[in-house]
A and B are shown apart, each in its own frame.
Chain A
Amino acid sequence: MKVSMQLEERTFLKRIDLNFVLVIFALNLVGLINLYSATHGVHSVGLSRLFLAQIFWLVIGWGLFFLLTIGEYHFFSRFAYVFYGLNLVALVVVMYKGSTYYGAQRWIDFGIFRFQPSETMKIALILVLAKIIAPKSRPNGLELKDLILPGIFTLIPFGLVVKQPDLGTAMLLAAISVTMIMFVGVKKKILIWAVVSTTIAVPLVYNFGLKEYQKDRIKTFVDPGKDPRGSGYNSIQSRIAVGSGQILGKGFRKGTQSQLEFLPERHTDFIFSVLSEEHGFVGSITTVSLFITLFLLAIRNASQARDKFGCLMVVGIIAFMFWHFFINVGMVIGVMPIVGVPLPLLSYGGSSMLATMSALGLISAVHFRKFLF
């Protein structure tokens, strides 16, 4: 008994991707230090409630991470449709009974915390798509009929999230789906057809499908002068924050832009500006590097997966994290439009933290099982 347990322990440490865990841990640390600064203004006394909540979610997140790591991830292949179905139900519930914040219905209020089903929907979609696409994937790419089911499974939650309205999350769902399909590959003919139809569809959707505020944001990105006091103002303030950090930054809790509340949403969507302002180019590049390392390790895990489902699931999760990272940091440094998308591991938010840690747990699980049959 004792021997077997020791063996079990040793193999556990050997089988787990320690580098991956360490990088996540490092990002957590950066996240907490930075969130502390963002949530503790000049006059704040004691620890902020948001900061404590984030620590709480982080602990639960790590619990989920390890639980999923040692679990058999094919369990998720088997129950992919169930997770997906439950998530759809939750999205519909949000539509009718959800709480409204900032003008959108995105949350289900459970009293102690507000659950945001669109976050977990990303994972459910990844699982379902991996399950559907894996057996169909061939060296010369997917055929048109192979794309019907993935298309339907993407469009349903996409539509529901657009209704909330949360264009950012909806676009992310689509981006995850497209990334996974493109990764597996499609016939050239379909690719050309897709490019052509998108070129036609985009102006149509822009003119008839988008709400005024959504159009405004895109317009503001293209021409910030159009709305100097709205999104353009945020964009400018964010750029000033980042730029004024210079090489070494203004120092922990010394960022004037963030401490004086020039930055909107500085603990969520604009968390990276706080970091850049206070820790400068060095801090920003370090954080970007940590993220890149995280993705490199994840890609390696995908390439070593023992089956297509595992591989595609990891690719989907990479897409999920990467697009969040790309859009958020891109927005903060002014190369992307202002879209309300959190930065994984750094932004404040329970649902986001749990979804992120679970997703990372699944990547870790693929590594954990890579040599098992």
Chain B
Amino acid sequence: MSNHLTSSEEQTKEYADRFRLLYGTLAATALLFSAGLWYLQIQSGEEYRSFSEKNRIKETEIPAPRGLLYDRDGKILVENLPGFEAVISPQYTEDLLATSKAVAEALQMDAESIKIKVDKSRRQNGPFFPVRIKENLTRDEVFRLKRLRLNHPGLDIREAILRSYPLGEDGAQLFGYVGEISKNQLPIFNTKYKGKLKFKQGDIIGKAGLEEVLEPDLRGHAGVSFLQVDAKGREAVTQTSNIYGEIFKDQDAIPGNNIVLTLDKDVQQAAYDSFKANNRIGALVALKANGEVLAWLSSPSYDPKEFAAGIAPDVWSRLINDPYRPLRNKVIQDHAAPGSTFKPIIALAALQENVVTPTTVIYCPGAIKFGRRMYHDHLKGGHGRVTIIDAIERSSNVFFYRMGIGLGIEHMSAYAKAVGIGSKTNIELNQEVSGLMPSAEWKKENIGEPWQPGENLSTAIGQGFVAVTPIQMALAYLTIGLEGKRFKPFVIKKILSHDNQRVLKEVEPVLLDDLTQPKAGRPQVDISTFQSVKQGLWRVANGVSGTARWWKIPGVEMAGKTGTSQVMSFSADQIYEECTKKPIQQRHHGWYIGMAPAANPEIVVAILAEHACHGSTGGAPIARDVIKAYMQKYHPEMLKNVEKSKLAHAQPSATENPDSQSRAE
């Protein structure tokens, strides 16, 4: 450094006037701060002092009522009821232990856990944040707490809004439930809805089903009211000057938006009642021809109200440990082998690829040999000489084994994927699974083995790797029924403003695809092919050998298909063993997918009857009930015309026991 030898005077001489600037800045700052402190501490000191000693602002949140859910006719499905909850504000408590003990006695709770809860929240959320102790207080509890309040500052009873589900466990998995936001969810939600919604500890949010998906609409905006209170948290009696001024102005809560679903409460009720009457577990979904969900059921179920009031640990553990998984939304979350309900899809492929024509007759014995293995039919004697339409009606395995051999996996896979098997339907709900439609490549990649020719046979009757969800099956059958048209399923029809005055969003049906039109990457299917398969489906419900012929609705022709999904693999001998003699959890699942009217379906119902052994007895009667309820509501004229002439022809006679016959699926 050359500067080293020059004197400091010379070096920094040029800065001399700048130092004056620094001194000036300091002087100005000293003046500004002195003036500020003087103004606050001396000029307004007394006012602030009295404020800090006598009065504080207590901020109370006015919760926003969540939006309501209506069915397609405007009937209430999910609503809110007023209630009371007990809270403790840590900032005002004098002796938390004593307060906890008193509250615990009044509410029959554990004093220690109340204290821990309050202490924890005090650390996490600060002392201002009121801690919710118990929701949904009874009248007696409110009364007892009111007396306690005098001696226990900080204890409060707040008005609360309780979510209410008039349908109870019916459709619970679709509507979902609400609960207090967890510590882990808090940052996730605040990132997800950044700039739109703010979440904080203690907020009630949708935790499952539509409540979860519709959170941004249902939530609304909480209001806030400010009260001047004394140091013990009690409302101030004397009015002191309001130092806060305009800052603390009450804000009203804005309720969430209301939602109109595509669901039909009457059809839903019929589905639920039928499930109950038949003592079924499993899943049901009913769709309108344009993809609107009419009914949605997952059984066994739970009462969402239990969650709204803060779920009790024992109820929770019972729900998650139930082997029949009541919390799962089985319509989209459970996938199973489609069994014989897969055969109509294979029939589409076989007819379109000219493996057979509608009139080709094939001899079907009780079993065929392929490779070194015997492939059995469920009917020991076989079905004799049948066409593809007969084969659908009677659900012949051997016929479809031959189709599987003729088609090969790539064709089967292409047609199944074309009707939506193996991919999510993207209905507006979380946690939908995609199911699986295998291909040779898929097996190579995921299992590391080449495709075996024998697997073509099991795939053709819907066993092996194929896995489908009930909603996929409903849509696939709808595509067959509508002769190629594929609609996107949806359950949210309209979003209304909280006063129902404005329609914020209206959802139109979406036509995803028309299989009769050419499109790259999927096979094209002729209308005549669909018609042949539909004929087979009609025969299932109406033909003399139809596997679901016992359940009819006078005046309305139905079409459908039964199926059995093997829960565990059994050797040929065991397949013939009476399913109903096994322990429940080892019994096969039954499938039934039904449509009506058969020629031009308006409604399709898919039922996965878990551990019901058969699709015909397990699913078909329920489908009949649901379709009947729909027809009674929307086409009463069809039912009336026949009521007088034919009567109760629908029940199976003693000689024609469906249980013994329905092995034929």
Q: How many residues of B contact A (CB 8 A)?
A: 54
The distance from the CB of B41 to the nearest CB of chain A, in whole angstroms, is 4
A307–B15 CA distance with the chains assembled, in angstroms: 11
Contact with B14, one of A137, A212, A292, A299 (Cβ below 8 angstroms): A137
CB pair B11–A311 under 8 Å, yes or no, is yes
CB pair A303–B15 under 8 Å, yes or no, is yes
A158–B244 CA distance with the chains assembled, in angstroms: 37
CB pair A288–B33 under 8 Å, yes or no, is yes
Chain B interface main SS type: helix
Contact with A246, one of B21, B33, B42, B231 (Cβ below 8 angstroms): B42
A276–B78 CA distance with the chains assembled, in angstroms: 54
A307–B1 CA distance with the chains assembled, in angstroms: 10
- Given A229-B224, A292-B30, also A244-B8 (CB < 8 A): no
- Cβ of B370 within 8 Å of any chain A Cβ, yes or no, is no
Count how many pairs of residues, one from A and one from B, have CB atoms less than 8 Å apart in the complex.
155
A108–B224 CA distance with the chains assembled, in angstroms: 39
The distance from the CB of A319 to the nearest CB of chain B, in whole angstroms, is 9
- Cβ of B500 within 8 Å of any chain A Cβ, yes or no, is no
The distance from the CB of B37 to the nearest CB of chain A, in whole angstroms, is 5
CB pair B47–A243 under 8 Å, yes or no, is yes
Residue interface mask A57-97, B partner, CB < 8 A = 1: 00000000000000000100100000000000000000000
| Residue of A225, A240, A330 contacting most chain B CB atoms (<10 Å) | A240
- Given A183-B18, A229-B59, also A335-B32 (CB < 8 A): yes
- Cβ of B243 within 8 Å of any chain A Cβ, yes or no, is yes
CB pair A334–B51 under 8 Å, yes or no, is no
Residue interface mask A9-51, B partner, CB < 8 A = 1: 0000000000000000000000000000000000000000000
- Cβ of B126 within 8 Å of any chain A Cβ, yes or no, is yes
A39–B247 CA distance with the chains assembled, in angstroms: 29
- Which chain B residues border A284 with CB–CB below 8 Å? 37, 41
- Given A261-B127, A299-B22, A304-B8, also A335-B42 (CB < 8 A): no
A311–B524 CA distance with the chains assembled, in angstroms: 84
CB pair B30–A307 under 8 Å, yes or no, is no
The distance from the CB of A311 to the nearest CB of chain B, in whole angstroms, is 5
Contact with A244, one of B21, B34, B45 (Cβ below 8 angstroms): B45
CB pair B23–A299 under 8 Å, yes or no, is yes
CB pair B40–A292 under 8 Å, yes or no, is no
- Given A139-B14, A311-B11, also A276-B37 (CB < 8 A): yes
- Given A229-B59, A326-B29, A335-B36, also A303-B46 (CB < 8 A): no
CB pair A232–B52 under 8 Å, yes or no, is no
A240–B7 CA distance with the chains assembled, in angstroms: 53
Residue interface mask B18-58, A partner, CB < 8 A = 1: 11011101100110111011101110111111011100100
- Cβ of B12 within 8 Å of any chain A Cβ, yes or no, is yes
Residue interface mask B160-204, A partner, CB < 8 A = 1: 000000000000000000000000000000000011000000000
B residues 461-495 with Cβ under 8 Å of A? none
A residues 264-278 with Cβ under 8 Å of B? 264, 276-277
- Given A232-B247, A247-B45, A299-B19, also A307-B52 (CB < 8 A): no
Nearest CB to that of B194 among chain A residues? A212
- Which chain A residues border B49 with CB–CB below 8 Å? 243-244, 246
| A-B pairs with beta carbons under 8 Å apart, 21 shown | A77-B1, A183-B22, A225-B247, A242-B37, A246-B46, A246-B48, A247-B42, A256-B53, A261-B126, A264-B126, A284-B41, A285-B37, A292-B26, A292-B29, A296-B26, A299-B19, A299-B22, A299-B23, A307-B4, A330-B32, A330-B36
Q: A139-B14, A246-B48 given; name 6 further pairs at CB < 8 Å.
A: A232-B247, A240-B51, A242-B37, A243-B41, A281-B38, A373-B5
